[in-house]
Amino acid sequence: MYIVIVGAGRVGLNLASFLISDGHDVTIIESDDKLCNNAVHELDALVICGSGTETKILEEANVADADVFVAATGNDEANLLSCILVRDHNIAKVIARVSDHNHEEAFKKAGINFVVSPELTTASYLEKLIIRPKILDLIVLGKGDAELLDITVTNSKVINKKVSEFSPTEDFIISAIHEDGNITIPVGDETLKEGCRISILVKSHSVKQVEKIFMN
């Protein structure tokens, strides 16, 4: 994937490093000269010294070709404006860091896919949000060694099978079933229906295994 990140502070720099290590193509934009120079020396990526709120800079970063756009600065206004500016490029996933909870509604009204609060703006969380597009929701727990996932059951091999056939194990447990606006805490006899949404508490190293079990 091609990912454009605005902001080369701690979060942006670490996120870029993680994504590059995963083999993704990354461009990072930073207006602060010191942070920009640091990113140039730290990252094997294109680093553009400029403001993510300027159309010219965004064009230089080829945002039109981006699969994901992340506004990760510590300034809510700058993040909002940069996300608005890239909206016409039909980027599949636009993620914005929001420091003030009072600003979240403005971001959502602007049509931004994912608004991430300060508690969740760790580089590891954002990386998971980017590279796991099939997962509806995701929360990183503890030190990042466990995750609570909301996923939709689409694998025909598990349709109509009982929850007890899959959970609990040493690596994951189905903690809830969401259906018709209701939430059920399963005791084992419930069956999995096609398209139903389930919450799974899973160890991070087993996420891919869980995806294969319940999703196509």
Tens-place pLDDT, residues 10-39: 888 888 988 998 899 999 999 999 999 999
According to the model, what pLDDT value does residue 93 have? 87
User: What are the Cα distances from residue 15, in Å, to 53, 170, 173?
Assistant: 20, 30, 29
Tracing tokens 């608004």 back to the chain, one arrives at: 115
Q: Model's pTM, two decimal places?
A: 0.63
DSSP labels for the chain?
-EEEEE--SHHHHHHHHHHHHTT-EEEEEESSHHHHHHHHHH-SSEEEES-TT-HHHHHHTTGGG-SEEEE-SS-HHHHHHHHHHTGGG--SEEEEE-S-GGGHHHHHHTT-SEEE-GGG--HHHHHHHHH-TT-SEEEEETTTTEEEEEEE---TTTTT-BGGGT-S-SSEEEEEEEETTEEE---S-PBPPTT-EEEEEEEGGGHHHHHHHH--
Residue-wise pLDDT for 39-52, tens only, equals: 999 999 999 999 99
Ramachandran sector of residue 108 (left: φ over 0; alpha: ψ -120 to 50; beta: rest): alpha
**Number of residues assigned to the chain:** 216
- CATH architecture of the domain with residue range 2-131: 3-Layer(aba) Sandwich (3.40)
Tracing tokens 């319940």 back to the chain, one arrives at: 214
Sheet holding 2-6, edge to edge: 46-49, 25-30, 2-6, 68-71, 93-97, 114-116
Domain boundaries, the chain: 2-131, 137-214
> Does the pLDDT of residue 71 top 90, yes or no?
yes
The pair of three-digit structure tokens given for residue 188, joined into one six-digit string: 């084992």
> Does the pLDDT of residue 137 top 80, yes or no?
no
Which one, of 135, 134, 137, 2, lies nearest residue 70 by Cα?
A: 2
Residue-wise pLDDT for 93-107, tens only, equals: 898 888 887 888 888
CATH of domain 137-214: 3.30.70.1450
According to the model, what pLDDT value does residue 187 have? 83
Residue-wise pLDDT for 84-135, tens only, equals: 999 889 898 898 888 887 888 888 888 886 777 655 555 566 666 676 655 5
**Mean pLDDT for the chain?**
85
The pair of three-digit structure tokens given for residue 110, joined into one six-digit string: 């602007």
